[in-house]
Structure 1
C-alpha cells in the first residue's frame, strides 16, 4: 500500500502524527495511506511560505506566466495517472476524472495569461492617481472531496499568478490527487511557494486562526464556512467562501422535452450529484410533469453504475459512507411522506458506497429532500401551476448559489431568471462555468467570487497612489 507524504518547503515530509487510510469508495476499503501532519508542521509550512513570499512577490508577471504554463504542460503529461488516482480516491468514472484533469490544465493556462493592470484614476496637470494591486502574502486553500483536483487548481493558480504563496489543505477523504498536483507545481516554482499539509482533524481551525495567513479560500459546507469566518476574524483574513447550494430549476410550460431532458439530467447528476452548483430541485409545470418524469426516468435507467475504472461505467459511487447515509435518510423521509420513487431509491447490494440515480416524484416544499441539499444522486421533481408562486418557492431557502429557468421563449425565461436570488442564473442550461466568468454565491452560499478578472483580484490588496507632480513636470 502506497504511503503519500506532505510537501513543505520543497521537501516531502512524513506526518508527525503518523498516517491515515484513504478509502476507495468503490470498495469501501483502504487503498493508500496519507501522512497525518501536526500543528507544528502547519507552522513550518506557513513559515516556509512567508520566507518564499519575500522573493516571489517581486517575480515579474511574465515569469509567473511562464511558470504556470509549464505547470499546465506537466499536468497534461501526467493526466492518465492523475485521472486514475482521482477515480480511486473520489469514485467518479475515469472519463469524468480525465476531464477534470484536462480542465484543470486549461484553467491553469487561462490563469497564466491573465493580466493585472495599473488603473489610472485621474490625470491632471498637478497630480496623477493610480490604483495598484499587490499580492496579499500567504494564502490558505481548503478544498472539498467532490472535485479534489480541479478545485485545488481553482484556488492555487490565481493565488500564484497574483504573487502569493500557498498552503494547501485538501480533504482527508481525497488528499492524494491534490498532493500530486502540489508536487507538480513545486517542480516549477521556488521552494516554499507551494506547500501541502494533510491530516484528519485539527488543521481547519488552526488554519483559520493562524496569524501568518493573510487569506483563506474555502469551498465546502455552509456550517464549516461559518466556522472559517469566525476563526479568520483573529487577524481579519481576506475570505473567499464558496459554500453549499440547493439550486432550483424551473421548467416553464411548453418547454421541449426532447431538447432539454438529457441536459437537465446531466446537470442534476453530474459527478453523481456531488457538485455544489448541480441542479438540486426541479420544478416542472403540471401540464408536463408526468412527461418529464417519464423521460428523466428512462435516462436514469440507462446509466451504468459501477467502479469508475471498469469499462463502460458512467456512474460511480457516492464518495463516502456518511454522505451515502444522508442520501438514504432523505429518500426514506420522502417515502414516508408518500413520495413516489420512480427509479433507484435503495443502496446497491455490493461492496462500496453505490447508490443508483434516483428520481422522486410527488414531493413538495417543506419536505427534507426539497429543503435540504442532498449532494448525491437523488433529484426531487416538484409540480407547480403558477409561475409567480414557483419563483417564490425557488427563492424561499437560505441558499443562493445558482438557479436556472428553462423555456421556449428565451426572453421570458431570462426575465424570470433575473429574479432568482442566486449568484448565478442560467437560462436553458445549468451548472455551466468558464474560467473567464466570475462565479460566486449569495445569501448563505458564501461571498466573494472565483474565476475571471474579478476572481483574480480577490487574491490581491489595493494600494491607491497619489502622485503630486512638481512644477514644470
Structure 2
C-alpha cells in the first residue's frame, strides 16, 4: 500500500506536495504512505480561501446552517465505512469500538449543533437607561485556525469545526501529521454540504501549525493537544492578540471511598483508564483510594485489568489498540525506566510487537511528587495511592497542575456533592466515568486549558458578543 494524502483548499483536493511526511500503521509499525508537509504558501492559500468564504457564510441564516450541517451528518453516515477504514489504518484501533464510540458519536455531535445553533439563549432587549434601548448580538469571529490531535482524529476534527461553522465562522484545520486521512475525507464531504472555503484542511507538522497560529488572517486559534503545545500556541498567538480556545492535558483522579461498590468501581475505572490505550486527556490516571479498603480495591482492579487486553483492528477480543507511534511508545517506556525504587509495577509495564502495543499497567507504592503521578503519560498506565480522610483525598486530587476531569466513587450523596465542588476539574463524574454527551461542556481548569468543546457554551466561545445601544429619538 502507498497511500498519498494532500490538502483540501477551497473545496479542491490537492495532489500530494513536494515536501512529505511518512504515514505509519501503528498496529504493524509499517509505512503505508505519505502526506503533504505544508509550508507558508499552502497556509496562505488556505487562509485566503477561508477569508473569502467568510464574507458570505457569516451572513447565512441559522436555518441554512442547520440544513447544511444535517446534510453533512448524513453524508458521514453514508461514507462511514470509508472513514472507519481510514481511521483504523493510521490508529490501529479496534474497528467496532471506533465505529460505535467515535464515528457515530461524531455524527450525533453534528446533529446536536445543527439544532443548538437555532436556539442559542441570549439577553432580552431592554432599557437600562431612560431613553436608551440595549440589545445583545452574537456574531461570528471570522477565520478560525484549528489544530487537532492524533488520539481521536475524526471525532476531534468534528468537535473543532462544527461549533465554529455553526456560529458562522470559516476554518482552516490542521490534523496531526500522523493521522490526516479521516480529516481530509471530512473536508471532502464538507465541500458537498457547505460552500467552498468554509472548511479547509492543511496537512503538516508543528512548524505548519506555528505558521497558522502566527498568520495574520485567523481571528482565533483552537487547539486540542498537550499542555506544552498549548503554551507554544499562546506564545505564537500573543503578538497578534488572537483569541484562544485550548483543550489540553489531564491527569484525572478517581477518588474511591470505603462505602463505594468496590468491584463495580474497579471495573469502571480500569476501563476508563485503559480505553483507547489511555490516550485520552480524561482517562483515569490516578486512583486515590481509602486506605481501609485499598488492598481489596487493588485486588479488584487487577482482576478487572487482566480482562482487558490490547490488539489490532482485526482482533475482536481487544479492548484497545496500540499507542499512536514509535515516539509515543518510547515515551511511555521511558516512564517505566525512570520509576523510583519505591514504586511497584503490579501488572503490565511491558510492550510487544510488531506494532506499538503496551500492556495495561497498574503501579502501586508511588508518592505524590513522583513523575509518574504528576506528568501526563498518555498511555495505558494507572497509579494507586491511598488517603485517610476526605480532606486528604481532595488535596491529592487537586495536587497536579491539571484540572480536566475527575471521578468520585461513594454511596454518600453529601460527600459526592462536597467533592464535586472542592475538586478543581471541568468535569466531575460521580459513580461513573468517561461519559461526554453532546449537550454537556467539555473543557478544563488550570493547565488543562481554556474554553469548552461541545454544548451551547462552545457556540459562545466561537462568537463575538456585541452590545448595540439605541437612543429613542
TM-score, normalised to structure 2's length? 0.96
Q: Which one of the candidate residues 226, 235, 255 is aligned to 1:250?
A: 255
SS at match of 2:193: coil
For residues 76-108 of structure 1, the C-alpha deviation after alignment (integer angstroms, 9 at most, x for no partner) is 111122122211111221112102011000000
Report the Cα distance in structure 2 between the residues aligned to 1:217 and 1:39, rounded to whole angstroms: 19
Report the Cα distance in structure 2 between the residues aligned to 1:249 and 1:417, rounded to whole angstroms: 12
Report the Cα distance in structure 2 between the residues aligned to 1:361 and 1:397, rounded to whole angstroms: 18
Q: Which one of the candidate residues 347, 369, 373 is aligned to 1:370?
A: 373
Alignment correspondent of 1:108: 110
SS at match of 2:342: coil
Q: Residue 254 of structure 2 contacts residue 409 of structure 2 at CA under 8 Å; is this kept in 1? A: yes
Report the Cα distance in structure 1 between the residues aligned to 2:316 and 2:438, rounded to whole angstroms: 31
Q: Residue 275 of structure 2 contacts residue 320 of structure 2 at CA under 8 Å; is this kept in 1? A: no
Q: Residue 94 of structure 2 contacts residue 316 of structure 2 at CA under 8 Å; is this kept in 1? A: no
Shift of 1:18: 2.9
Shift of 1:201: 4.2
For residues 29-84 of structure 1, the C-alpha deviation after alignment (integer angstroms, 9 at most, x for no partner) is 11122122221111000000111111111111101000000000111111122122
Q: Which one of the candidate residues 441, 446, 451 is aligned to 2:449?
A: 446
Shift of 1:155: 0.5
Q: Does 1:461 align with 2:464?
A: yes
Q: Which one of the candidate residues 413, 434, 438 is aligned to 1:435?
A: 438
For residues 303-339 of structure 1, the C-alpha deviation after alignment (integer angstroms, 9 at most, x for no partner) is 23211233332221111112212211222333x4132
Report the Cα distance in structure 2 between the residues aligned to 1:301 and 1:389, rounded to whole angstroms: 30
For residues 190-241 of structure 1, the C-alpha deviation after alignment (integer angstroms, 9 at most, x for no partner) is 1111100001342121111111001111011111101111111222211110
Report the Cα distance in structure 1 between the residues aligned to 2:31 and 2:455, rounded to whole angstroms: 38
Shift of 1:117: 5.1
SS at match of 1:108: helix
Alignment correspondent of 2:350: 346
Q: Residue 15 of structure 1 contacts residue 38 of structure 1 at CA under 8 Å; is this kept in 2? A: no
Structure 1 201/455 Cα, relative in aligned 2: closer, same or farther at 3 Å? closer
Report the Cα distance in structure 2 between the residues aligned to 1:314 and 1:246, rounded to whole angstroms: 21
Deviates more, 1:113-122 or 1:32-41: 113-122
Report 1:259-408 matches (<5 A). 259-334=264-339, 336-348=340-352, 350-408=353-411
For residues 117-148 of structure 1, the C-alpha deviation after alignment (integer angstroms, 9 at most, x for no partner) is 55324147833211001001101110011011
SS at match of 1:436: coil
Structure 1 92/414 Cα, relative in aligned 2: closer, same or farther at 3 Å? farther
Q: Does 1:161 align with 2:161?
A: no
Report the Cα distance in structure 2 between the residues aligned to 1:217 and 1:40, rounded to whole angstroms: 21
SS at match of 1:58: coil
Structure 1 117/247 Cα, relative in aligned 2: closer, same or farther at 3 Å? closer
Report the Cα distance in structure 2 between the residues aligned to 1:156 and 1:309, rounded to whole angstroms: 30
Q: Residue 52 of structure 1 contacts residue 190 of structure 1 at CA under 8 Å; is this kept in 2? A: yes
Report the Cα distance in structure 2 between the residues aligned to 1:375 and 1:216, rounded to whole angstroms: 24
For residues 363-404 of structure 1, the C-alpha deviation after alignment (integer angstroms, 9 at most, x for no partner) is 221111111111100111112222212221221221111122
Q: Residue 172 of structure 2 contacts residue 199 of structure 2 at CA under 8 Å; is this kept in 1? A: yes
Report the Cα distance in structure 2 between the residues aligned to 1:72 and 1:379, rounded to whole angstroms: 36
Q: Residue 277 of structure 1 contacts residue 401 of structure 1 at CA under 8 Å; is this kept in 2? A: yes
SS at match of 1:287: helix
SS at match of 2:327: helix
Report the Cα distance in structure 1 between the residues aligned to 2:316 and 2:97, rounded to whole angstroms: 13
Report the Cα distance in structure 2 between the residues aligned to 1:169 and 1:102, rounded to whole angstroms: 22
Report the Cα distance in structure 2 between the residues aligned to 1:233 and 1:214, rounded to whole angstroms: 12
Q: Does 1:230 align with 2:232?
A: no
Q: Residue 308 of structure 1 contacts residue 314 of structure 1 at CA under 8 Å; is this kept in 2? A: no
Alignment correspondent of 1:239: 244
Alignment correspondent of 2:68: 67
RMSD: 1.5
For residues 407-454 of structure 1, the C-alpha deviation after alignment (integer angstroms, 9 at most, x for no partner) is 111221221231012222221123321211122111111111122111
SS at match of 2:315: coil
Q: Residue 3 of structure 1 contacts residue 32 of structure 1 at CA under 8 Å; is this kept in 2? A: yes
SS at match of 1:359: strand
Shift of 1:269: 1.3
Report the Cα distance in structure 2 between the residues aligned to 1:301 and 1:161, rounded to whole angstroms: 44
Alignment correspondent of 2:30: 29
Q: Residue 11 of structure 2 contacts residue 187 of structure 2 at CA under 8 Å; is this kept in 1? A: no
Q: Residue 87 of structure 1 contacts residue 309 of structure 1 at CA under 8 Å; is this kept in 2? A: no
